[in-house]
Amino acid sequence: MRKIIFDTDIGVDDAFALAYAAQTQHILGITTVFGNVPVSQAVKNAKVFSREIALNAPIFRGCSRPLALPALVNSTTVHGRDGLGDALENPYDDKADNAISFIIDTVKAQPGEVTLVAIGPLTNIACAINQAPEIIPLVKDVVIMGGAFGTRGHAGNVSPHSEFNIWKDPHAADQVLSSALPVVMLPLDVTHEVLISGDEIRYLNFPVLTQISSGYLQYSLTHERFEGMALHDSLTISWLTHPEYFTTVKSPIRVVTDGITRGQTLRQLTQLASRFNPFEHCSKQTLCLDVNASKVKAAFFHSLQK
């Protein structure tokens, strides 16, 4: 069981990941960020979903907009208007203490022990290391759902070249990925390989997951002729519990911050000496490019079979 800070723009698959993390990890706190929903809604969602799963971790409010780009209108088609499938009565307000201070203070108080699980735009993590770069060597690791590297055609979901979390704040992602933080990245290459059907969700005997995902499943049935969803964010927790289910490579990673490929994640594919090397001085990160999907699903079902 790891000590984690769970950084989320809580939508439907984030909620699945939170349920999984609550069963398998020691959650020190939940930090919220804009992404699937505005950050004020993310705070409210974290509160109501924590109640649903009887989780008692403190909840914090993080960034409401990207580092450098204009704030964008949120698109919550698949996650519902409130991000959780419009399925739960939510009596909570959006008040919460500052997420960036919580990340900095917690990492400093427990050097080498805290894993940051980041499943939304990386803005909070970038702000934390910009504000307190001295925490970089104190973080145990950062486990990120994000990016796409083209394995088996998994190259993007918000644009042909970009994955949603990275596209939302490419400058933050580039700072985090090219820093000396030890990063493990779970991109679409692996998360789009792990699909869970409506029947499998209902079989979990975890009614709140069925409730919040019903709109998502209806959308997938209409648009993809498959009633199901990619587990996406839960794969960060799969990595923490079963890293042996993944095939990894080590590479520096950068992000395209503007232009038609905004949000594209790049790894170094050649070692050619060149006069311009954007990967120079970047740490080698751990990149998951393949996954044993059936084993990941079996472990997920096992943990959530209450």
- Residue among 165, 178, 179, 234 that touches ligand BDR (CB under 6 A): 165
**DSSP tag of 136:** G
- Binding segment (CB under 6 A) for ligand BDR, from list 11-19, 23-31, 176-184, 207-215: 11-19
Element (H, E) at 53: none
- For CA atoms 271, 277, 278, 283, the dihedral sign is positive
Q: Which two tokens stand for residue 17?
A: 């990941």
Q: How far apart are CA 6 and CA 120, in angstroms?
A: 10
* Per-residue mark of binding to ligand BDR, 212-241 (x: CB under 6 A): --------------------xx--------
Shortest spacing between CB 164 and ligand BDR, in angstroms: 4
**Number of residues binding to ligand BDR, judged by CB under 6 A:** 12
Does residue 169 touch ligand BDR according to CB under 6 A?
no
Residues contacting 153, CB < 8 A, separation 6+: none
Helix (H, G, I), strand (E, B) or coil at 278: coil
CB-CB contact of 67 with 126 (8 Å):
yes
Does residue 34 touch ligand BDR according to CB under 6 A?
no
The torsion angles phi and psi of 216, rounded to 5 degrees, stand at: -60, -45
- Residue among 13, 52, 169, 189 that touches ligand BDR (CB under 6 A): 13
> What CA–CA distances, in Å, run from 193 to 50, 71, 303?
28, 31, 20
* Per-residue mark of binding to Ca ion, 198-237 (x: CB under 5 A): -----------------------------------x----
Does residue 265 touch ligand BDR according to CB under 6 A?
no
- Residue among 36, 151, 178, 214 that touches ligand BDR (CB under 6 A): 36
Catalytic residue, candidates 232, 242, 281, 302: 232
* Per-residue mark of binding to ligand BDR, 115-144 (x: CB under 6 A): ----x-------------------------
CB-CB contact of 123 with 76 (8 Å):
no
Query: Is 171 marked active-site?
Result: no
Provide the b/e sequence for 141-161 (b: ≥16 CB within 10 Å).
bbbbbbbbbebeebbbbbbeb
Interface with Ca ion (CB under 5 A): 14, 119-120, 233
User: Which active-site residues does the annotation give?
Assistant: 232
Footprint on this chain of ligand BDR (rule: CB under 6 A): 11, 13-14, 36, 119, 145, 157, 163-165, 232-233
